[in-house]
Copies of this chain bind each other. A is one copy, B any other.
Amino acid sequence: MLMRTIALLVLLSLTGWASVVLAEDGYDLWLRYRPLPAEWVAAYRPKVTELIPGAHSPTLDLTRAELSRGLGGLLGAAVPLASHPSQDGSLIVGTAESAPLIAELQLGLERAGSAGYVIRSLVYQGHHVIVIAANKDIGVLYGAFHFLRLLQTHQPLENLAILSAPRIQRRILDHWDNLDRTVERGYAGESIWDWHKLPDYLDPRYTDYARACASLGINGTVPTNVNASAISLTPAYLRKLAALADLFRPYGLRVYLTARFSAPLEIGGLKTADPLDAGVRAWWRAKTDEIYALIPDFGGFLVKANSEGQPGPQDYSRTHADGANMLADAVGRHGGIVMWRAFVYSQQQPDDRAKQAADEFVPLDGKFRDNVILQVKNGPIDFQPREPFHPLFGAMPHTPMMLEVQITKEYLGFATHLVYLAPLFEETLRSDTYARGQGSTVAKVIDGELFGGATASKAVGSGPPFAHSLTGIAGVANVGSDRNWTGSHFDQANWYAFGRLAWDPTLSSRDIAEEWVRMTFSNDSAFVAPVVAMMMRSREAAVDYMTPLGLHHQMARDTHYGPGPWVSGGPRADWTSVYFNRADADGIGFDRTATGSNALAQYAPQVAAQFADLTKTPETLLLWFHHVPWDYKLQSGRTLWDELVIHYTQGVLTVNDMRHIWADHSFMVDPERAAQVSTFLAIQEREARWWRDASIAYFETFSHRPLPAGYAPPEHNLQFYEALCFPYAPGIAPRPSATCQ
């Protein structure tokens, strides 16, 4: 059989099929397992001569299969299985509980917790072996992926002494996927969830999704949109969800659901959804019983309430705490949690939109059930290219709080812009809230370190697997049915980086980029170094060509595709650009100091003091906090207006640089991926120029100042840019309108 396969492959190699074998369409993500260069195979082979997979369980069987697949692919030869280590190079895998061999070793597993693992080189019965061990099966799977990553990135296998455990307990992907396969703000094709064919048909892609999540330690998925449909709570859809849950369980991936607050009216036949109504409470209790009967490890609910038109407890003059606690009581009986989103702002509220979440929630600190966690976006507006950290971080010591970041690039050029987001995530995680003095970073808020006493079970490693330790982080997924999953090859890096930072928010974005490039494209340092450098510049480039110096929310209406600094009118002021840029003859920027909205007062005094002082505010956030005169001199000595133009221009130039870097190095990857990246970078450069030119054309109508010498004027006049219209830009469903005015 083997010889027949080889013969077949030799035949294939002589034909066009070789190209199929070697084609790279991106489907394999960072789990490509392509054969390593001969020198690395020679180095690794003696270190991995046999696999001792230990006991059977659904998760351990997956672990064995992944190691066989990965090692077989990387080393070019199947690694034989054995029941007991008999030679140098044994790879021993398992838990202390299921493998006596591991139990007898002193591995320090007590520090690995329920999801962590150790990878250790040691001598066992005279043989040099490597052990991947954990307290629970899922830790073994995570350790196996870590071990494979070592080979994938050409790391030495000598003297391994790795202990790794997640710093955050709930590491979740939020899918804004509607039940009809459209994806709100999705730029990677339709939803991967084919609800219509569930529960019968389990697309092989679901398995690969779970593998990819597990390879990063992602342990939760919310497959439904926060703008929720109550239909997802009907019996038919719960059975569909249960089929996914069954498939995902051995990968350590729990399912959650978004809960539409008005579901008792829509599918329950009740007359109210008042969270204090006994009938409503009974309905949700019965509904959660129904869910847990199908999915015993159901994670809980994610809720967007009283925000952007969604129903919520305030419809009944109840508080967010009333609403969250009602659901928490229902799921809590089964060990479930409620993730309650803090992204709320009221149409009736004339105050600065940036302030409203904190205004709403800070008074509720301590009023939530233990199994409620508040889900807070990285910044106070909405996933902009740059925002200051959200003032809620550090402001509610008695309330568990999780970070929500957007992996899908709603405001960052969609899939065709190469923008590596880990620097943005890192910037938030490392922001200092000063809630308990210097060093009170957002990372320490969300990993439970800062307010440890406030959370139920904060210690890394304590408790059973999936203990309800209320620390968490959520990323709005960029995953779709596109063959490469994320709409572009480089957007895979953003899924990857989210997962890695969710496991360990102290990792550096640069290290993650390098890891990813090595696994995804090439280990050749002549490729890795320039491409990582390119990625590391990409987010600042996007800030520059879209919203430099603290500007925010300047995109086109509805579609969010391209620039729209002129956007005004419409249903609400805080959905316009002019609300946020406040450009006038005097200057530009949103005064959030005491003379303005005083939003900065929501931060700790040390932070507020810095932001209050125009000269101390980082220039990257200048126009977020201040309305600044056009002729105000920045640190460069140039005026604000000149610097604005220079930043816009620099953004375009950086993308042009990125194009050249790719053009010079992409010969080192396969032609299919090289070509797509190249085409997308060309789109990005054109659209970066569009952003620059349109923004300058608009703002110069206020500044009335010439462009700095040597800077080209916009290619077209303002009317040209204002007239552009893209009714079918992706990511909106239902569409506001199919025609342009």
Residue numbers of A with Cβ under 8 A of B are: 2, 5-6, 8-18, 20-22, 25, 33, 35, 68-70, 72-73, 75-78, 179-182, 189-190, 195-197, 200-201, 204, 229-231, 266, 416, 481, 483, 672, 676, 679-680, 682-683, 726-730, 733-735, 738-740
Q: Is the CB of A11 within 8 A of B728?
A: no
Least CB distance, A81 to chain B, in whole angstroms: 14
Residues on B with C-beta less than 8 A from A2 are 13-14
Q: Whose C-beta in chain B lies nearest to the C-beta of A21?
A: B21
Which of B21, B229, B416 lies in contact with A12, CB distance below 8 A? Answer: B21
Q: Is the CB of B200 within 8 A of A682?
A: yes
Given contacts A5-B22, A8-B13, A197-B683, 4 further A-B contacts (CB under 8 A): A14-B72, A21-B21, A200-B679, A201-B680
Q: Whose C-beta in chain B lies nearest to the C-beta of A232?
A: B728
Q: Is the CB of B17 within 8 A of A10?
A: no
Which of B6, B68, B195, B197 lies in contact with A16, CB distance below 8 A? Answer: B68
Residues on B with C-beta less than 8 A from A201 are 416, 676, 679-680, 683
Q: Is the CB of B266 within 8 A of A179?
A: no
Q: Is the CB of A76 within 8 A of B14?
A: yes
Which of B76, B179, B190 lies in contact with A190, CB distance below 8 A? Answer: B190
Q: Is the CB of B35 within 8 A of A11?
A: yes
Q: Is the CB of A728 within 8 A of B196?
A: yes
Q: Is the CB of B9 within 8 A of A10?
A: yes
Residues on B with C-beta less than 8 A from A200 are 679, 682-683
Q: Whose C-beta in chain B lies nearest to the C-beta of A234?
A: B740
Q: How far is the CA of A181 from the CA of B180 in the complex (A)?
A: 13
Least CB distance, A584 to chain B, in whole angstroms: 34
Q: How far is the CA of A204 from the CA of B24 in the complex (A)?
A: 12
Q: Is the CB of B6 within 8 A of A13?
A: yes
Residues on B with C-beta less than 8 A from A182 are 182
Residues on B with C-beta less than 8 A from A75 are 15
10 contacts between A and B (CB under 8 A): A5-B13, A6-B13, A6-B14, A9-B21, A12-B73, A20-B21, A181-B730, A190-B190, A201-B679, A483-B483
Least CB distance, A374 to chain B, in whole angstroms: 29
Asked, given contacts A481-B189, A481-B190, whether A204 binds B672 with beta carbons under 8 Å apart, the answer is yes
Q: How far is the CA of A77 from the CA of B18 in the complex (A)?
A: 11
The 9 closest A-B pairs by CB, nearest first: A15-B72, A11-B76, A16-B69, A9-B9, A9-B13, A179-B728, A190-B190, A6-B13, A180-B728
Q: Is the CB of B33 within 8 A of A8?
A: no
Least CB distance, A290 to chain B, in whole angstroms: 18
Q: How far is the CA of A714 from the CA of B368 in the complex (A)?
A: 51
Q: Whose C-beta in chain B lies nearest to the C-beta of A71?
A: B15
Q: How far is the CA of A6 from the CA of B676 in the complex (A)?
A: 27
Q: How far is the CA of A416 from the CA of B78 in the complex (A)?
A: 38
Residues on B with C-beta less than 8 A from A679 are 200-201
Q: Whose C-beta in chain B lies nearest to the C-beta of A74?
A: B15
Q: Whose C-beta in chain B lies nearest to the C-beta of A28?
A: B20
Q: Is the CB of B266 within 8 A of A739?
A: yes
Q: Is the CB of A73 within 8 A of B16?
A: yes
Least CB distance, A329 to chain B, in whole angstroms: 27
Which of B78, B231, B729, B740 lies in contact with A728, CB distance below 8 A? Answer: B231
Q: How far is the CA of A683 from the CA of B179 in the complex (A)?
A: 20
Least CB distance, A579 to chain B, in whole angstroms: 28
Q: Whose C-beta in chain B lies nearest to the C-beta of A724?
A: B236
Residues on B with C-beta less than 8 A from A35 are 8, 11-12, 15
Q: Is the CB of A18 within 8 A of B33?
A: no
Residues on B with C-beta less than 8 A from A229 are 738-739
Q: How far is the CA of A646 from the CA of B683 in the complex (A)?
A: 61
Residues on B with C-beta less than 8 A from A70 are 16
Q: Whose C-beta in chain B lies nearest to the C-beta of A18?
A: B5
Q: Whose C-beta in chain B lies nearest to the C-beta of A25?
A: B204
Asked, given contacts A33-B16, A200-B682, whether A77 binds B728 with beta carbons under 8 Å apart, the answer is no
Residues on B with C-beta less than 8 A from A179 are 727-728
Residues on B with C-beta less than 8 A from A14 are 2, 6, 72, 76-78
Least CB distance, A256 to chain B, in whole angstroms: 20
Residues on B with C-beta less than 8 A from A672 are 204
Q: Is the CB of B231 within 8 A of A738?
A: yes
Q: How far is the CA of A354 from the CA of B639 in the complex (A)?
A: 74
Q: Whose C-beta in chain B lies nearest to the C-beta of A73?
A: B15
Least CB distance, A31 to chain B, in whole angstroms: 11
Q: Is the CB of A15 within 8 A of B196?
A: no
Residues on B with C-beta less than 8 A from A21 are 9, 12, 17, 20-21
Q: How far is the CA of A33 from the CA of B230 in the complex (A)?
A: 48
Least CB distance, A151 to chain B, in whole angstroms: 13
Q: Whose C-beta in chain B lies nearest to the C-beta of A75?
A: B15
Least CB distance, A411 to chain B, in whole angstroms: 17
Q: How far is the CA of A544 from the CA of B18 in the complex (A)?
A: 47
Least CB distance, A66 to chain B, in whole angstroms: 9
Least CB distance, A667 to chain B, in whole angstroms: 15
Q: How far is the CA of A254 from the CA of B301 in the complex (A)?
A: 51
Q: How far is the CA of A13 from the CA of B190 in the complex (A)?
A: 34
Residues on B with C-beta less than 8 A from A33 are 15-17
Residues on B with C-beta less than 8 A from A76 are 11-12, 14-15
Q: How far is the CA of A182 from the CA of B416 in the complex (A)?
A: 20
Q: Whose C-beta in chain B lies nearest to the C-beta of A197?
A: B416
Q: How far is the CA of A728 from the CA of B237 in the complex (A)?
A: 11
Asked, given contacts A680-B201, A727-B231, A739-B266, whether A77 binds B11 with beta carbons under 8 Å apart, the answer is yes
Q: Is the CB of A180 within 8 A of B11?
A: no
Asked, given contacts A201-B679, A676-B201, A734-B734, whether A77 binds B15 with beta carbons under 8 Å apart, the answer is yes
Least CB distance, A262 to chain B, in whole angstroms: 11
Which of B12, B195, B481, B483 lies in contact with A9, CB distance below 8 A? Answer: B12
Q: How far is the CA of A395 from the CA of B167 in the complex (A)?
A: 77
Q: Whose C-beta in chain B lies nearest to the C-beta of A179?
A: B728
